[in-house]
Amino acid sequence: MEDFISKTKLPIYIVHAFTDEAFRGNPAAVCPVPKNVELSESQMQRLAAEINLSETAYIQFSQQDKQPTFENSDRFSLRWFTPIIEVPLCGHATLASAAILFNMYENKSPEITFDSKSGPLIVSQEDDTISLDFPLNPTQKQDQNEIKELLKEICDASIIFDVEYSPTTKKLLVRLKDETPRSALEEMKIDTELLVAREHTGKIKGVIVTLKGSENNGSFDKHGNVYDFVSRYFAPWVGIPEDPVTGSAHTVLADYWGRYLKKSVLCARQCSARGGDIRIKIQGDRVKLMGRTNIFLTGHVYI
């Protein structure tokens, strides 16, 4: 009992992001770190590995705030860990972190700024959604011959329309031909171990497979509204074979589809088995990603 009492007690939450339903969207663990607790990177990584979700987020107090509380402060530090590595940006875990501050701690700030390895990230509540202000990540044409062996592990070359690459995020974007049914994207089987075997240079850290939405290919929601695009995302290089709903991937998709469709407001679906919807607003070199959340679990861990 004495050993148990002497351990550090940390609050922890699991939040389903980009959905308001249980068992949908992308689950993230959120750990608000009390101001009297210091966690090492090793402890953060080990806890993320133990929780074993795609991301565990750590909310820490900003050094700029002299009297910090989770209830009243409007600036925090935020870090994200997969089970095997720290990542510079994670959309769904940022959304989940904001949901905990706004809902569990009843933080009334109109905007909250998260200082991160991707710079300051601003979150706010808009009606029944939370809005994330992220950097837009442009893509550029990718020579398919350079990665033809990798592409073979993703899908048949006959259904590929375009391939682009985001150097800032190291994400590869593979666009399927418009006539490809949404069901074909959803049923696509990718051996993620072979992806890693085909690409081990470090250039690529994630693969986005995307399809232009249309009524003919079945890319519409339960109300019959057509999505501008749908996608799936695979990141075995960072320990995530397939991510259910990915904010960082949509900072890349927003640039690509915004240019192609000539639209600054987009509606998207990541059609993994869990699935989730994202609304998008492009504003210059920034992008707002908007989604709902479902707080699923609250508790404590002892380390």
Q: What was the pLDDT predicted at 5?
A: 56
Q: What does the pLDDT average to over 8-23? A: 96
74-99 tens-digit pLDDT: 999 999 999 999 999 999 999 999 99
Residue 2 has pLDDT above 60, yes or no: no
DSSP 233-272: EEEGGGTEEEESS-HHHHHHHHHHHHHHHT-SEEEEEE-S
Q: What was the pLDDT predicted at 62?
A: 82
- Strand partners for 61: 76
Encoding tokens for residue 268?
């998207």
In this structure, are residues 263 and 239 in contact, taking their beta carbons and an 8 Å threshold?
A: no
Q: What does pLDDT average to over the chain?
A: 95
Residue 215 has pLDDT above 90, yes or no: yes
In this structure, are residues 33 and 69 in contact, taking their beta carbons and an 8 Å threshold?
A: no
Burial class (CB in 10 A: 0-12, 13-18, 19+), 214: middle
Which residue among 38, 55, 111, 179 is the active-site one? 55
Query: What is the C-alpha separation between 27 and 56, in angstroms, rounded?
Result: 9
CA gyration radius, the chain: 19
Encoding tokens for residue 257?
């589809």
Q: What does the pLDDT average to over 104-111? A: 96
What pTM, to 2 d.p., does this model score?
A: 0.89
CA 101 to chain centroid: 18
Q: What does the pLDDT average to over 236-246? A: 95
Q: What was the pLDDT predicted at 149?
A: 95
Q: Does the annotation count 55 as an active-site position? A: yes
